[in-house]
């Protein structure tokens, strides 16, 4: 009989083996990447400085060839030692020969002809640098010329602008000069002149506006403008005289407007006297315009009417004692005719055993006849 061979044990799953192999394979690329990074660091540390130095030296040589200057390394012949004959000959050629005679071929040997493309590049760079400097100079308010000359030129223009009344232009020039030399004493002096010119210009404008208001007979507005002018220049004769005249006319116009609204104010003797004085003073005022003269003329006519007495008819019962305040006692009567100046009067009636009676008597200058009846009728 045949023996049955026992089955072999199952091998480990291939997936697990493949996973281990993958882990081992991952270590190799990581090691190589670390080596590569180390190589790059060494390259940066050792190679880059030498490359930069070489580049700088090459640029210096190009600049030297353009300007006609050569370095000692270029002037030294190849293969010559410091003490050799060729070195001494090269030295004599450099300094003009053994006896100090000029060597005609010196420039040919020591200088190199400029390269066209290098010349163009250098000229372009120079033009760009000049443009940049000019832009910076314009932004800073200074040019490439001498700062002292620039400062003096700006100060001269600023003074000329002040004399011509161009205040804003003078201030701008002052700021430009201050950027060059901020601590010069001339700046303080110029600033004072600019402020004085500004005050003078403001004073001139105020006086012009005030005179325009006087011509238009706006007395209150003119007085306000003259006051502002005196705040700038207290010694201004024009402003002081104008203010005095404007205040007088303004006060007169205020009172005359009150009379136009209520003519019976002239019944007050004190008020009437003030109006007469103001009118007498204003007639001779040269600033008095046609509108004001017209109002003054109407006021004088009204004053004349209030100075003319009017007839007043009074009636009573013959038993009432009649008294007019500010006029006097009239006594008892049935009818009486008196003359009174236009105005408002208070009339009082008294009778023994009766209550006093009061009445207001308004005598108008614009009416021909005025009548009033007053009797005491209410017993006590």
Please state, in angstroms and rounded to a whole number, the distance separating the CA atoms of residues 300 and 284: 15
Mean predicted confidence (pLDDT) in 94-112: 43
Helix (H, G, I), strand (E, B) or coil at 168: helix
Answer yes or no: do 324 and 282 share one domain: no
113 is a domain residue:
no
Domain ranges, residue 261: 205-306
Domain final position from 306, 340, 359: 306
Q: Would the pTM count as exceeding 0.85? A: no
Task: Report residue 293 as tokens.
Answer: 């003269």
pLDDT beyond 80 at 16: no
Answer yes or no: do 288 and 333 share one domain: no
The distance from CA 142 to its chain's CA centroid, rounded to whole angstroms, is 24
167 is a domain residue:
no
Please state, in angstroms and rounded to a whole number, the distance separating the CA atoms of residues 56 and 61: 9
Residue closest to 336 by CA, chosen among 352, 359, 325, 320 = 320
pLDDT reported for residue 106: 42
Residue closest to 210 by CA, chosen among 220, 196, 198 = 220
Q: Beta partners for 143?
A: none
Does 311 or 33 have the greater pLDDT score?
Answer: 311
Cβ-contact 377, 354 below 8 angstroms: yes
Please state, in angstroms and rounded to a whole number, the distance separating the CA atoms of residues 351 and 379: 9
Answer yes or no: do 243 and 287 share one domain: yes
15 is a domain residue:
no
Answer yes or no: do 224 and 281 share one domain: yes
Quick: pLDDT tens for 169-187. Answer: 888 888 988 888 888 888 8
Residue 94: pLDDT band (50, 70, 90) is very low
Number of domains, the chain: 2
pLDDT reported for residue 66: 57
192 is a domain residue:
no
* Greatest C-alpha distance within the chain: 186
Answer yes or no: do 291 and 325 share one domain: no
Task: Report residue 267 as tokens.
Answer: 């019944």
Answer yes or no: do 314 and 251 share one domain: no
358 is a domain residue:
yes
Number of neighbouring beta carbons within 10 Å of residue 299: 22
279 is a domain residue:
yes
Answer yes or no: do 301 and 313 share one domain: no
Quick: pLDDT tens for 197-230. Answer: 888 889 999 999 999 999 998 989 999 999 999 9
112 is a domain residue:
no
Answer yes or no: do 301 and 330 share one domain: no
Look up residue 12 and give its DSSP letter.
P
344 is a domain residue:
yes
DSSP one-letter string for 73-130:
HHHSPTT--TTSHHHHHHHHHHTT-TTSPPPTTHHHHH--PPPHHHHHHHHHHHHHHH
Answer yes or no: do 219 and 297 share one domain: yes
What's the CATH number where 351 sits?
Answer: 2.60.40.1120
Answer yes or no: do 295 and 314 share one domain: no
């Amino acid at each position: 009989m045949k023996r049955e061979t026992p089955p072999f044990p199952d091998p480990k799953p291939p997936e697990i083996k493949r996973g281990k192999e993958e882990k081992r394979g991952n270590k190799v690329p990581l090691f190589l990447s670390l080596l590569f990074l180390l190589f790059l660091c060494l390259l940066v540390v050792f190679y880059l400085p030498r490359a930069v130095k070489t580049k700088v030296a090459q640029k210096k040589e190009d600049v030297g060839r353009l300007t006609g200057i050569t370095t000692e390394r270029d002037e030294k012949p190849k293969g010559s030692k410091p003490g050799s004959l060729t070195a001494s000959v090269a030295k004599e050629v450099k300094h003009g020969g053994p006896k100090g005679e000029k060597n005609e071929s010196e420039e040919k040997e020591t200088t190199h002809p400029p390269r066209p493309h290098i010349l163009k590049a250098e000229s372009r760079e120079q033009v760009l640098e000049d443009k940049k400097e000019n832009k910076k100079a314009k932004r800073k308010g200074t040019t490439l010329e001498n700062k002292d000359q620039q400062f003096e030129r700006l100060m001269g223009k600023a003074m000329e602008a002040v004399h011509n009344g161009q205040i804003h232009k003078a201030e701008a020039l002052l700021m430009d000069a201050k950027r060059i030399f901020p601590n010069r004493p001339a700046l303080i002096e110029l600033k004072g002149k600019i402020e004085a010119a500004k005050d003078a210009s403001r004073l001139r404008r105020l006086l012009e506006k005030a005179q325009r208001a006087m011509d238009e007979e706006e007395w209150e507005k003119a007085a306000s403008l003259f006051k502002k002018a005196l705040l700038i220049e207290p010694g201004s004769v024009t402003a002081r005289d104008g203010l005095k005249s404007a205040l007088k006319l303004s006060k007169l116009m205020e009172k005359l407007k009150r009379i136009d609204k209520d003519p019976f104010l002239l019944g007050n003797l004190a008020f009437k006297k003030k109006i007469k004085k103001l009118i007498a003073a204003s007639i001779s005022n040269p600033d008095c315009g046609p509108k004001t003269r017209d109002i003054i003329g109407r006021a004088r006519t009204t004053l004349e009417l209030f100075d003319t007495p009017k007839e007043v008819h009074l009636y009573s019962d013959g038993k009432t004692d009649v008294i007019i305040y500010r006029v006097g006692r009239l006594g008892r009567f049935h009818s009486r005719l008196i003359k009174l100046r236009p105005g408002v009067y208070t009339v009082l009636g008294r009778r023994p055993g009766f209550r006093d009676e009061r009445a207001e008597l308004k005598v108008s200058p614009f009416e021909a006849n005025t009548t009033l009846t007053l009797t005491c009728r209410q017993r006590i």
